[in-house]
Amino acid sequence: MAHIRLRCVECGASHRADVRALYCNTCKLPLEVEYTGVGALSRSGLGGLWRLGAPAPVHSPSHVVSMGEGMTAVALLERSGLLLGLASLFGKLEFQSPTGSFKDRGTTVLMSALKEAGVDEIVEDSSGNAGASIAAYAARAGITAHIFAPASAPAPKVQQLRVYGAHVHLIEGSREAATQAAKAFVEQRGLVYASHNLSPFFLEGTKTFAYELVDQFPEGLPDHVVLPVGNGSLLIGAWIGFRELQASGRVKRLPKLHAVQAEVVQPIAAAYMGRPWRPQAGARTAAGGIAVAQPPRLRQALRAVRETGGACVAASEEAILRWQRLLAREEGVYAEPTSAAAFAGLELLARQGVIGARDVVLVPVTGMGLKDMAPAE
């Protein structure tokens, strides 16, 4: 990792690259990867998103843990566009990745960095999709994984963790309770906390979403990208990718990045609107993947939205479930509720005139409906 350092997202302080480092020593805020040189990684023979030529924190191709993730299809969503009064609405079918969600983008890079660092046992906490992704890639890398998840996580997601052979720790209470339990376990056992929410390496994978869009829209990038946001790994990763592409001259104008949250869990949308917000006891959303009350990268997520000229909105439960059904019946796209939330948010943005009828809009369909089936009846 001699070609990278880790930079504090707040004060800019530079830290030595280390897979265990998750916070700035001074600010206690998360870090991001800074490239000080070109890695020795030769991409010949590597598939999936590793072919895109994005700077990567891994040196040797022999450490890359990959299953050809990324390179997901873009589909025109004509009927949904008509319903919303939009001429050009596209979905990027992120559930086509190996474990059924966009998380594999981040995991392939994070797991490769862990393998390169010689790590053999990790801890992660997740509402489901990231855990499944980490469990799968850990199995592939020969790394033992402990995954902490809320006891309320959907059964198919928990089953997916188990089938990959992860040690599953189900924790009663909120999503945050699973995080606290994972952190305590890391302390107790002296293990590596491979947190997809905190690790800067995960964002180095999700940034490839931006690189792919440049290839898939050779005539010009979409005007708007509307994303479901909990911790913001796809939002922030896409922003990092677009800025890299802008710095290298490949992109002139960035799409506006819009963040969608659920009404009942909306720390980022509330901060964007300057409104106070506190989690309400017992309030649940069908969009479990974005039910994050205290996202550690909240300020970074807000910057991604503001600096690209985007907006944050909060979607109702009724609209989230309505869009899940609608996407399945009108488009043949079976999204999980968390992913459908982005469309519910798009509906608000179109209604508010933030997105115009002639604008080109892209929404990542981040996760597969089969993994979170309960609400879709």
Ligand X SMILES: Cc1ncc(COP(=O)(O)O)c(C=O)c1O
Please report, as ranges, the residues that interact with ligand X according to CB under 6 A: 101, 127, 129-130, 228-234, 289-290, 292, 336, 338-339, 366-367
Distance CA 64, CA 110 (A): 10
Residue nearest to ligand X as judged by C-beta position: 367
Residue type at position 141: A
Amino acid at 247: A
Q: Taking the complex as a whole, how short is the minimal distance between the CB of residue 300 and Zn ion, in angstroms?
A: 12
Cβ count within 10 A of residue 327: 23
14 part of the interface to Zn ion, by CB under 5 A: no
Q: Which of residues 176-235 bind Zn ion (CB under 5 A)?
A: none
Query: Is residue 293 a contact residue for Zn ion (CB under 5 A)?
Result: no
Per CB under 5 A, the segment of 26-34, 91-99, 103-111, 212-220 that binds Zn ion is 26-34
Least distance to ligand X from the beta carbon of 38, Å?
Answer: 28
Is the torsion defined by CA of 272, 275, 276, 282 positive or negative? negative
Residue 26 within binding range of Zn ion, rule CB under 5 A: yes
The contacts of residue 341 (CB under 8 Å, 6+ apart) are 228, 260, 261, 262, 287, 290, 315, 320, 323
Stretch that binds Zn ion, among 6-14, 87-95, 222-230, 312-320 (CB under 5 A): 6-14
The binder of Zn ion chosen from 13, 117, 170, 373 (CB under 5 A): 13
Structure-token pair, residue 318: 């009724």
Mapped onto helix, strand or coil, the DSSP state of residue 113 is: helix
Closer residue to ligand X (CB): 41 or 312: 312
Q: Please give the DSSP secondary-structure letter assigned to residue 262.
A: E
Residue 228's binding partner among Zn ion, ligand X, none (Cβ under 5 to 8 angstroms by kind) is ligand X
Q: Whose Cβ is closer to ligand X: residue 81's or residue 367's?
A: 367
Burial (CB count within 10 angstroms: exposed 0-12, middle 13-18, buried 19+), residue 41:
buried
211 SS3 class = helix
Q: Helices (H), strands (E): how many in the chain?
A: 12, 13
The answer to the question of residue 56 lying near Zn ion (CB under 5 A) is no
11 lies in the site for Zn ion, by CB under 5 A: yes
The stretch near Zn ion (CB under 5 A) out of 25-33, 44-52, 54-62, 307-315 is 25-33
Find the part of the chain contacting Zn ion (CB under 5 A) among 19-27, 157-165, 166-174, 363-371: 19-27
Q: How far is CA 147 from CA 44, 126, 159, in A?
A: 33, 7, 12
CB of 195 to Zn ion, least distance (A): 18
What is the Cα–Cα distance from 34 to 36, expressed in whole angstroms? 6
Which of Zn ion, ligand X, none lies near 30, with the C-beta cut-off 5 to 8 A by kind?
Answer: none
Nearer to ligand X (CB atom), residue 116 or residue 154: 154
Spatial distance between the Cα atoms of 283 and 310, rounded to a whole number of angstroms: 27
Query: By the criterion CB under 5 A, which residues form the site for Zn ion?
Result: 8, 10-11, 13, 24, 26-27
